[in-house]
Amino acid sequence: MSDGIYDLAIIGGGINGCGIARDAAGRGLSVYLCEQSDLASGTSSAATKLIHGGLRYLENYEFRLVHEALAEREVLWRMAPHIIWPLRFVLPYHRGLRPAWLLRLGLFIYDHLGGRRLLPATRTLDLTKDATGRPLKPGQYKLGFEYSDCWVEDARLVALNAQDAAERGAVIATRTRLVTAERGADVWRLGLQDRRPAGGTKTISARILVNAAGPWVGDVLALTEGRDAPASVRLVQGSHIVVRRLYEHDRCYIFQNADNRIIFAIPFENDFTLIGTTDSDYVGDPAAVKATAAEIEYLCAAASEYFAAAVTPADVVWTYSGVRPLYDDGAVEAQSTTRDYVLELDTKGAPLLSIFGGKITTYRRLAQHALEKLASYLPAAAQSQRDWSGRTPLPGGDFPVQGFETLVTDLRRDYPWLDAGHCRRLARAYGTRARTVLAGATGKAALGRDFGGGLYEAEVLYLMRSEWAEQAADIVWRRSKLGLRLSVDQIAALESFMAEHVQECAAQ
Ligand SMILES: Cc1cc2nc3c(=O)[nH]c(=O)nc-3n(C[C@H](O)[C@H](O)[C@H](O)COP(=O)(O)OP(=O)(O)OC[C@H]3O[C@@H](n4cnc5c(N)ncnc54)[C@H](O)[C@@H]3O)c2cc1C
């Protein structure tokens, strides 16, 4: 940073803010990112967690978005083959809903619209014979189609983008909220509130302000110019339910509903099935969003239309909910509102770039487009490195795209005392950096205190030192999903441990 002024200040530590921070820092720009809570504490930890083209968006003629998103699948998979992996989706034909020829046509377009080199193509299934027909209502679903998309650990993708940005020089300030924004002709002066118990305020300066506040994009705009929340954002709630594992095979289902929507049922965290999602307009504080009883009923009913064993609200072990910050294109129904992103550049003084909409899947392209849009305000050197982000692995992702099993085997060889499940979980979460987490330990005792569920002190301290974790929820619901396995008392013990160590870890 020259003259104490950052090139870019980014508001929001969700996928879009962290993606822009990484791309910008990799181009040599000085970057300051602030996040009012934990990384990915907003929408970016509440997704269905698919890196997908969005088969359904074809019906809304969103060809630009679907093309870009399909092409990103293999780019992102290569960048982070530990937290992203291919999945096969089974779409059963349902009499009275979309005809089989339309499904086939949609999937033909899906297979050919974006680059697909490694992911297998669509195939037709006889559900009376295929294993995927077995959990479904007998006799009702005979024909199905199976196609490819990918899974992503959404909140980890955010943390790894932040980590990579920081390793390239960006400042990542979590639990820090933008509270004032004063605009000059060339420079922003930004007032920041540290939200930790003893936190104070401070001011930083930046030449460009990027508003990547997701569902809060309107609030940040209001701060910057006293403008009311703009009409161009539409907040749409989406909820998921998690139940005990419903079936044995490793494929996912995409079910069509009579209301023209679709829902997914996806193998989740080995022992569970994830079902979602919903679409309903949302009013209120996005941080307070919660799955409603009506949404839980809806998801159970939609799944029970297909599965032989009914899914009921009593089966639900966890729910989560998020607010989509969609660009308001005036669609009548929430489900039809565009999923594409819009970048709004305001140059009435120092530049302000606001981001509306976007998918986890397209975050990297969104970041590139954001920096292109700002090109005339950036040094020439930053403009010349346009395409580095897709060719460089994220932290821990520096192994071959189809080499995950080899990574696990190598880890097991070098750490034979680790349980198989524990070893695999660490490989999934940290990739090649699992070795940094294990820090040369030669036995379980060296991993320190055991918090339960395969979580040890060594991992907790790694997350606190290298991934900005400060509270138990940061670890058990965002850096991992161990909250599904830990008891309330175990989480409380983790909370006390983290509170004791937070100062010393932050200082490192
Ligand atoms: C139910 C659901 C399912 C989805 N499924 C998928 C999917 O399967 N695949 C896919 O690709 N996409 C999916 N999406 C879309 C995707 O999750 C979002 O588009 C994406 O996460 C938005 O990221 P973001 O960075 O814009 O917003 P956020 O993740 O919300 O980040 C914005 C951040 O800004 C912070 N912030 C706000 N105001 C301030 C301030 N004043 N100071 C500091 N920080 C501030 C917030 O705390 C927040 O963390 C889904 C979305 C939902 C809701």
Give me the DSSP letters along 367-412: HHHHHHHTGGGS-HHHHH--S-GGGSPPTT--S-TT-HHHHHHHHH
| Alpha carbon separation from 90 to 114, 255, 403 (Å, rounded) | 20, 8, 25
Distance in angstroms between the alpha carbons of the first and the last residue of the chain: 21
Shortest-distance Cα residue to atom 2 of ligand 1: 47
Q: For the chain, give every residue range classified as CATH 1.10.8.870.
A: 404-507
Residue 49 φ then ψ, to 5°: 75, 40
Q: Which of 389, 363, 1, 3 is nearest to 169 (CA)?
A: 1
Q: Which of 472, 462, 407, 470 is nearest to 438 (CA)?
A: 462
pLDDT at 62: 86
pLDDT at 382: 79
Query: What's the pLDDT tens digit per position in 210-249?
Result: 999 999 999 999 999 766 555 588 999 999 999 999 999 9
Shortest-distance Cα residue to atom 51 of ligand 1: 47
Beta bridge partners of 234: 326
Answer yes or no: is the C-beta of 214 below 6 A from any ligand 1 atom: yes
Q: Which of 352, 364, 348 is nearest to 69 (CA)?
A: 364
Describe the chain by its helix, strand, coil percentages, rounded to 5. Answer: 40, 25, 35
| Ligand 1 center to 115 CA (angstroms) | 26
Helix (H, G, I), strand (E, B) or coil at 94: coil
| Ligand 1 center to 125 CA (angstroms) | 35
Model-level pTM?
A: 0.97
DSSP 136: B
Answer yes or no: is the C-beta of 218 below 6 A from any ligand 1 atom: no
Range 85-151+233-330 classified under CATH 3.40.50.1470: no
The fold of 404-507 is Helicase, Ruva Protein; domain 3 (1.10.8)
Q: Which of 150, 324, 369 to mutate to test the pocket of ligand 1 (most atoms within 8 A of CB)?
A: 324
6 vs 55: CA distance, rounded Å: 40
CATH of domain 5-43+155-231+338-391: 3.50.50.60
Q: Which of 16, 38, 41, 44 to mutate to test the pocket of ligand 1 (most atoms within 8 A of CB)?
A: 44
pLDDT at 506: 78
> With contact defined as beta carbons under 8 Å apart, do 318 and 484 qualify?
yes
pLDDT at 54: 86
Which parts of the chain have pLDDT scores under 70? 1-2, 226-231, 507-508
Answer yes or no: is the C-beta of 178 below 6 A from any ligand 1 atom: yes
Q: Which of 214, 166, 192 is nearest to 40 (CA)?
A: 214
Answer yes or no: is the C-beta of 175 below 6 A from any ligand 1 atom: no
DSSP 175: T
| Ligand 1 center to 480 CA (angstroms) | 18
Q: For the chain, give every residue range classified as CATH 3.30.9.10.
A: 85-151+233-330
| Ligand 1 center to 170 CA (angstroms) | 20
> With contact defined as beta carbons under 8 Å apart, do 462 and 437 qualify?
yes
Q: For the chain, give every residue range classified as CATH 3.50.50.60.
A: 5-43+155-231+338-391
